[in-house]
Amino acid sequence: MTLMTASADKPTTFVDDYLLYQLASASQVLSDEFHRKVKASGTKIHVWRVLACVVDQPGLMLTSLSKLVLYEQSRLTKIIDQMVDDGLVNKQPVAGDRRKMAIFVTAKGQDLVAPLMVSAKAHESKVLENLTDSEMTMLKRVLNKLCNLQT
Amino acid sequence: MTLMTASADKPTTFVDDYLLYQLASASQVLSDEFHRKVKASGTKIHVWRVLACVVDQPGLMLTSLSKLVLYEQSRLTKIIDQMVDDGLVNKQPVAGDRRKMAIFVTAKGQDLVAPLMVSAKAHESKVLENLTDSEMTMLKRVLNKLCNLQT
DNA sequence: CCTGAAAATATGCGATTTCATATTAGTTTT
DNA sequence: AAAACTAATATGAAATCGCATATTTTCAGG
């Protein structure tokens, strides 16, 4: 039999042994925890997310960035426009294709995101303290594997 | 040194080795995949989510259910009210505390959710085919551990 | 090059979500 | 047993999101 993942004594309910629920739950619980700090610092969650991604991969065009950030394109367009207004990022036309816009972080955006990235890594470390080294390594490896299955 | 999770050759970018991003990404990518099927069947995502949870743990009051479903309370109130109108669940006053409402699935709700749960498990199986048994076991165990850390 | 298809981004609007707070009910303290 | 506190749910207004679609530009075939 294949479905005996959880503790064998109590008959497992649906959601507790359903991978997509477990992923959503772990993601939400842990993210909410950190998001409280982000909000406390006066930054909106989506601004944090976008900045972290733009810093990570500067110069992406909107569509690619929307895949990285995991936000739908039209939503990201609106967020970016707002962030441009706020001086956090800028849109540069791409030479050779006048449709494309490359997104870069500004100095102001850098200043905003830098401490948050430090804080994010600190929070992550705290979370990971609860796992063994091998658990952590395997978790990250498996998560990456899962992400790259997308059909 | 502690932060060497990803392949040691390419200098890892921030998000790719950041647990909260990996969790969010895996969750979104895999959920979106299944959500396409849910939408195709004409059911809203949040209706699917709530039904699966109510079937799983019938009779929870709104607040407890909102924690299980991972939806904010006032949002769940509105969703449940709509679902009551649609005959998918019902709210029963709880004896002994007139504030509380216990949520149960109706026969119509059952009929709607049953095939989706089968489909969900089938989708999960397909996803899990890409992992070894020990990877799967450990993944689910670690995810549960992470969820229960919440401060 | 002209036409039709595809890609990248933008936009309008309806629907959903969130936030703060109201309301009602139970609990505790004195 | 009144006052103050806490808990459970509801509600209204503002913000956000998502869908469908428009617009502009590039690409591919004949």
Rounded distance in angstroms from the CA atom of residue A82 to the C1' atom of nucleotide C17: 19
Q: What's the confidence (pLDDT) of residue B5? A: 47
**Domains plus CATH for chain A?**
36-109 (1.10.10.10)
**What's the angle, vertex CA A116, arms to CA A113 and CA A119, rounded to 5?**
155
Question: What is A84-130 written as a DSSP string?
Answer: HHTTSEEEEEETTEEEEEEEEE-HHHHHHHHHHHHHHHHHHHHHHTT
Q: How far apart are CA A44 and CA A112, in angstroms?
A: 11
User: With left for phi above 0 and alpha for psi between -120 and 50, is residue B89 left, alpha or beta?
Assistant: beta
Q: What's the confidence (pLDDT) of residue A13? A: 85
State which residues between 5 and 24 of chain B bring their CB within 7 Å of strand D: none
Give backbone dihedrals phi and psi of A3, rounded to 5 degrees, phi first.
-95, 40
- Which candidate from B5, B23, B55 shows the least CB-CB separation from A23? B23
Give backbone dihedrals phi and psi of B49, rounded to 5 degrees, phi first.
-60, -45
Rounded distance in angstroms from the CA atom of residue A75 to the C1' atom of nucleotide D21: 15
pLDDT tens-digit readout, A132-142 = 999 999 999 99
Q: Which stretches of chain B score pLDDT less than 70?
A: 1-11, 150-151
User: Could you tell me if A11 and B128 are in contact, meaning their C-beta atoms sit under 8 angstroms apart?
Assistant: no
CB atoms within 10 A of CB B57: 15
CB atoms within 10 A of CB B35: 17
Q: How far apart are CA B100 and CA B77, in angstroms?
A: 12
pLDDT tens-digit readout, A8-65 = 566 678 999 999 999 999 999 999 999 999 999 999 999 999 999 999 999 999 999 9
Nearest-CA residue to the C1' of C23?
Answer: B99
pLDDT tens-digit readout, A85-133 = 999 999 999 999 999 999 999 999 999 999 999 999 999 999 999 999 9
Tokens 């995991």 locate to A70
Residues in B 28-67 with any Cβ partner in A closer than 8 A: 28-31, 33-34, 52-53, 55-57
